[in-house]
Structure 1
């Protein structure tokens, strides 16, 4: 018996410049309302300056960017939290999607997800989220966020193909949560300044944008 197909994302945080082309192209393609962002670009940074006795300065200031959408997790807590079955994981490709006609807008999925992937459409009162651009993938195309990245910092494929191409990556770095929560289908190449998911000395610098 063959293993079911599972799609996922690769993010190279050594290449991402925080331009937000992925964020904007996703929002534009789906004409998402204000306040709903299926893909977001986090700026994470920290460090400080200090003055030496001779008047010179030293610093260890850093920042890096993390592009994040839905990770179509192996253990999607959003699906477990949904009381109606509207949030579901597709058998054919592992993409996590929403049956809008079954959604009651209770936001249980949003409260459960550590990645802030499910987001409420205030006008329609239903949850929405990254659907992996399943219609584009069915046509042999990449998700719009991947195709719009000018630095080629994003990739999307089956997890078998991604691991063959990039290996297992460097694991989650801040500001992401621990991978153990949902077993996400996300491979990350860590920026040289990448901080651990807990105990990092930085913070999210662009809260109003995400």
Structure 2
């Protein structure tokens, strides 16, 4: 079995969201569903001293994240219908529409918010690694579309050998929850997972 995964380079990402739009276009997604999201995490304040000089500790950075096709996906274990599957050949985590009843248990269980419930179909939907493209030897559309080459895709062991281990950064959860097949090169201003000094400042764009 080959376990595929993603690499995200936070030193390259400018938050342009081309990856999000390319994914929406390929999968013909409605406005209320994204398979990939770019979260902008920021915080800090400005302060003035007695002389009127201002200083700050503000920060902001972007994190592009989709389904991480985890080694131990909690969505799989929680699905009451057994609809969530993990592919033996690629490690892809996917939902079987024949079994799915659209209850949303997977969406509530996933700490990354990857599964969504399509209310029109009443089915769970999510990133499938662009399985059709990968089968043809191509990269997932989000990776191919990124103008800054902030995304990469491949055998997770090879990605880790190339880019290093996963940098656990806010606002993502600790990797111990699911063992995500994800490698992150942290941006300069990155805060550790669990950090409470900032917030996701573009919450209205996340869906």
- Taking structure 1 as the reference length, the TM-score comes to 0.96
Question: In the TM superposition, what whole-angstrom CA distance separates every residue of 1:31-52 from its partner, at most 9, and x where no partner exists?
Answer: 0122111000000000110101
Decide whether the 8 Å contact of 2:19 with 2:145 is kept in 1.
Answer: yes
For residues 9 and 158 of structure 1, what CA distance do their matches in structure 2 show? 9
In structure 2, the residue matched to 1:174 is: 170
**Displaced runs of 4 or more, over 4 A:** none
The separation in 1 between residues aligned to 2:12 and 2:31, in whole angstroms, is 28
Match of residue 157 from structure 1: 154
Q: What secondary structure does 1:130 align onto? A: coil
Contact map agreement 2:171 2:195 (CA 8 A) in 1: no
Structure 1 match to 2:21:
24
Q: Which blocks of at least 5 consecutive residues in structure 1 are unaligned? A: none
Per-residue Cα deviation, 1:64-108 (whole angstroms, up to 9, x for no partner): 000010000000000001111211111111000111111000111
Corresponding residue of 1:97: 94
Matches within 5 A, 1:49-88: 49-88=46-85
- 2:40 & 2:128 partners in 1: Cα distance? 24
* Residue 14 (structure 1) shift: 1.1
Which of these residues, 42, 47, 52, is aligned with residue 45 of structure 1? 42
Q: Please point out which of 100, 120, 123 is paired with 2:120.
A: 123
Quote the residue 1:206 is aligned against: 202
CA distance in 2: counterparts of 1:175 and 1:97, whole angstroms = 24
1-structure distance, mates of 2:43, 2:123: 37
Query: 1:12 Cα deviation (Å)?
Result: 0.6
| TM-score in terms of structure 2 length | 0.97
Name the CA distance, whole Å, in 1 between partners of 2:177 and 2:157.
21
From 193, 196, 203, the equivalent of 1:197 is 193
Q: Considering only aligned residues, what root-mean-square deviation do their CA atoms show, in Å?
A: 0.9
**Aligned pair count?**
206
Instruction: Give the Cα separation in 1 of the matches to 2:148 and 2:9.
Output: 9
Q: Secondary structure of the residue that 1:45 maps to in structure 2?
A: strand
SS at match of 2:98: helix
Q: 2:138 aligns with which of 120, 138, 141?
A: 141
